[in-house]
Amino acid sequence: MLWPNARIRHARNVEVQERVAAARRETPESEVWLGLLEAALDEGEDGATTWEAAVPTPVADRPVKAPVLSRTQVTLDGRAARGWVRRLLKVTPTVNPRRIDELALLEAAVCYDDARIDAMAATAGAEPHALRVLGQMAALPLLQACARRLASELPATWWEGYCPLCGAWPVVAEYAGLERQRRLRCGRCGTGWAIPLLRCVFCDETEHDKLGYLTPEAGEQTRKIEVCHTCKGYVKGVTTVRALAPWAILPPPG
């Protein structure tokens, strides 16, 4: 029996719950960020129908190196979107929700327009970095819905360092399977794409003597940090048996 106005909730991913709980124990100072991430993952499940209905049709004549979402028009359920962003604003102590336009923040975050978000923060008297993080968490449900629905639209090959779907920089490089194929993983939409080993994600440097990596300890082969001495960019690297799930940017339990 369902009570009036009851909201049907999906079963939660147990591994996600374990990782969030472990991260809370090990890094209690990250509680606000973890709370936002957990809320975004929940919204992606509970509000999947709403967000998938907003997935746009890709533009046919976009430039070759432009992400799939480039130049698209997104039509949202305004009430649902405002409500979602407002819920995040209310749990972020450094941001006054009454002084932020929810849809404008969501749009700026999806477009990766940090300058626009910083301007909103200045107007609202909020800390810019906090509002940037909140905006990106607000964008996760929509962007991950786009990744699910538009997977068939991704280019067969993509050698750029930014995400072929949403244009964000990767948060991790995976070395997957027995062949240790290098794949980059977007931390927003969760899209993964293959890229050559000896190539900087950010500046396309290919000279091997200008590329390197750092490991946490002698003999450690499962984790490292790729570094580029040309642009000073870096990205975390992990060895995996198979491609990571979109939520796997969370630190593992234990």
What is d(CA 90, CA 212) in angstroms, rounded to the nearest whole number?
43
Mark whether 113 and 178 lie in a shared domain: no
Q: What is the mean pLDDT of residues 172-193?
A: 87
Count, in order, helices (H) and strands (E) of the chain.
7, 6
Structural domain span for residue 69:
14-152
Of 108, 123, 152, the one marking the end of a domain is 152
- Give the pLDDT band (50/70/90) at residue 1: very low
- Give the pLDDT band (50/70/90) at residue 219: low
Mark whether 120 and 223 lie in a shared domain: no
3-state secondary structure 107-125: HHHHCCCHHHHHHHHHHHC
* Residue 68 counted as domain residue: yes
Percentage of the chain beyond pLDDT 70 is: 88
Mark whether 59 and 109 lie in a shared domain: yes
pLDDT in tens, 98-144: 889 999 999 999 999 999 999 999 999 999 999 999 999 999 999 99
Please give the span between the terminal C-alpha atoms of the chain, in angstroms, as a whole number: 40
pLDDT at 218: 63
Q: Which residue has the higher pLDDT, 241 or 198?
A: 198
38 near 88, Cβ under 8 Å? no
pLDDT in tens, 156-174: 999 999 999 999 999 999 9
